[in-house]
Amino acid sequence: MKGTLSKRNTKYKLTNLKGDSSHKVIFWTMVMLAWPTIVEYFLETIVQYVDTAMVGQVSAEASAVVGLSTSLNWLVNSPLFAVGIGFLAMVAKATGDDDPKAIKRAADQAILLVIGLSVAEGILAIAMSPFIPKWMGADKLIWQDASIYFAVICMPMIFRASIIIFGSLLRATGDTKTPLKINLLVNGTNVLLNLLFIYPSRTIYIVDQPVKIWGLGLGTFGAGLATAIAFVIGGGLMWRAFSQNASLHQGLKHIKFEKDTMIKGLKISLPIALNKTVTSLGYVVFSGLVSSMGTFIFAAHTIAIVAESIFYVPGYGMQAATSTMIGYTLGKRDWQLYMRTVLLNVMFIAVLMMPASLLLYKFAVPIMHFFTQEAAVIALGAKVLRYVAFSEPFFGVSIILEGVYNGLGKTTYPFAVETTSMWLIRIVGVIIILHLPGATLTKVWLYMIADNLVKTILFGWGIFHFKNRMRLFEKALATHS
C-alpha cells in the first residue's frame, strides 16, 4: 500500500500535468495538492471548535469576547491573505513557465511585504484595540476583556504574517505538506496552552482516580496568550521551512527590491486585499449589528458561525490547490487544461459538500451542545444551522470559483461581486430587519444565505458564460505577458 501511494504521489505532481492532461491526471493532481491543505484547515477548525468550547465553559460572556474578535481577525488577516494569494499566482505561473529566477524574485518581494505589513498592521491593531468593542456595539460588560484579548493575539503580527504568506508560497511550489505539519504543531500547542491558561487548578477523575491539573485561571486573557505563543512558534517554523526551500529562497544577503516584480504582485494582490478587507469589514459590521440584539443571541450567532465553518473546510482547502493549478495552466498557455481543471474542481466540491450539508442539518443540536450548555443558545444556534445547511454546496462552489480568478490573477471582478453582494444584500438587509418589529437571528441568517447564493451565481457567470470563458483566459495571458 505504501509503495502504491508513493508512486501515485510521484505520478500526480503539478509538473506532470505538462505531459498528460487527461481528466484522471488532473483529478489526482488536484487531490494530491489539496488533501494536505484540507487536512490542515480541518484541524485548524477543530482547534477553533475546541477553543470556542473551552471558553464557552466559562460563560456566555466569555464566548462573546472571543466571538467578537473572530470577524476582526478576518479583517486583520485580509491583506496578509491577499499578498499570499497574489504571489502564489505568480510563483505558480513561473513554475509553469519553468522560470526559477522569476520564482525567487517573487519570493524576495514577499519577504519585504511580510516585514512591512506586519509592522503596520500590528501597531494599528494594538492602538485601536481599546475602542473596537465599543464601536462594534458590544455589551459594556465585555469591553475590557475583548479589548485585551484582541491586543494580545495581534502582538505577534510578524509571525502571523509569516504563517500565512510563506505558507502560500510553499503551496505554490507544490509543497502542501510542510505547512500542514507546522500548523498541526501550532494548533496542538494552542490547545495544550489553553488547558493551562484558561482554567484554574482543578481535580478531575479518571477511572474514579483523582488527578490534579495545574492551571492559571486567566480566562479569555489566557486563551489570547495561548494563541499568541502558538503564532510565534508557527511563524518561526514557517520562516525556517521557507528559507530552506531551494526554489524560493537564496539567502537574506541576496534579497533586493525589484520594482517590476513588486508592482506585478501588488496588482494581483491589491484587488484581493480590497476584496477581503471590505468583505471582512462587512463581517465586522454584521457582527456588530447582531451583537446589538443581545449577549445570548450574539453568543448563539458566533458559536453557529464557528460550528458551520468545519463544513466548508473542503472548499477552502481546495481553493489554494485550484489557484496553483490554474496559475500553472496559465504558464503553459494551455486552454484545454485550464477548462478541464475548472470543471473538475467545481464538480468535485459540489459533490463533496452535499453529504456535509446533510450532516450539518442532521446533527445541528449535538454540534451546538458541544460548545455550550445554555439551552436557549443551543436551540437558536441549531435553528440557523439547519437553514444554512442547504446553501453549503453553493458556498463551496463560490470558494473554488474565486480560487480560479485568483490563479488567473484576474481579481478585480471578484472584488466587485464580493463588495456589492456583502453590503447591498447582507448589511443593508440586516439593517432593515433590525428597524422592523419582530427581528430574529433566523431572518438575519437568511440574508447571509442570500449573499452566498448571489456570489455563486455571479462568479459562475463570469467564468462559464460562453462569451466570457475564452476571453477571461486570454486577458489573463495578456496581463502576465
Q: Would you place residue 1 in the very low, low, confident or very high pLDDT band (cuts 50, 70, 90)?
A: very low
Spatial neighbors of 131 by CB under 8 A, at least 6 apart, are 147
What average pLDDT does range 163-191 have in this prediction? 86
- pLDDT tens digit string along 414-425? 888 988 998 899
The pLDDT of residue 376: 87
The pLDDT of residue 454: 94
- pLDDT tens digit string along 98-155? 788 888 888 888 889 999 989 999 999 899 888 877 776 667 777 888 888 888 988 9
Q: Are 459 and 414 in contact (CB under 8 A)?
A: yes
Q: Are 322 and 30 in contact (CB under 8 A)?
A: yes
Q: What is the 3-class SS of the chain, one letter each residue?
A: CHHHHHHHHHHCCHHHHHCCCCHHHHHHHHHHHHHHHHHHHHHHHHHHHHHHHHHHCCCHHHHHHHHHHHHHHHHHHHHHHHHHHHHHHHHHHHHHCCCHHHHHHHHHHHHHHHHHHHHHHHHHHHHHCCCHHHHCCCCHHHHHHHHHHHHHHHCCHHHHHHHHHHHHHHHHCCCCHHHHHHHHHHHHHHHHHHHHHCCEEEEEEECCEEEEEEEECCHHHHHHHHHHHHHHHHHHHHHHHHHCCCCCCCCHHHCCCCHHHHHHHHHHHHHHHHHHHHHHHHHHHHHHHHHCCCHHHHHHHHHHHHHHHHHHHHHHHHHHHHHHHHHHHHHHCCHHHHHHHHHHHHHHHHHHHHHHHHHHHHCHHHHHHHHCCCHHHHHHHHHHHHHHHCCHHHHHHHHHHHHHHHHHCCCHHHHHHHHHHHHHHHHHHHHHHHCCCCCCHHHHHHHHHHHHHHHHHHHHHHHHCCCCHHHHHHHHHHHHC
What average pLDDT does range 68-85 have in this prediction? 77
State which of 286-295, 405-414, 443-452 shows the largest mean pLDDT: 443-452
Domain boundary assignment for the chain: 2-480
- The three cell numbers of residue 228 are 499568541
Q: Distance (Å, rounded) from C-alpha 258 to C-alpha 453?
A: 41
Q: Distance (Å, rounded) from C-alpha 316 to C-alpha 180?
A: 14
- pLDDT tens digit string along 197-215? 887 777 766 667 777 777 7
Q: Would you place residue 18 in the very low, low, confident or very high pLDDT band (cuts 50, 70, 90)?
A: low
Q: Would you place residue 52 in the very low, low, confident or very high pLDDT band (cuts 50, 70, 90)?
A: low
Closest CA to 157 of 88, 79, 220, 66: 79
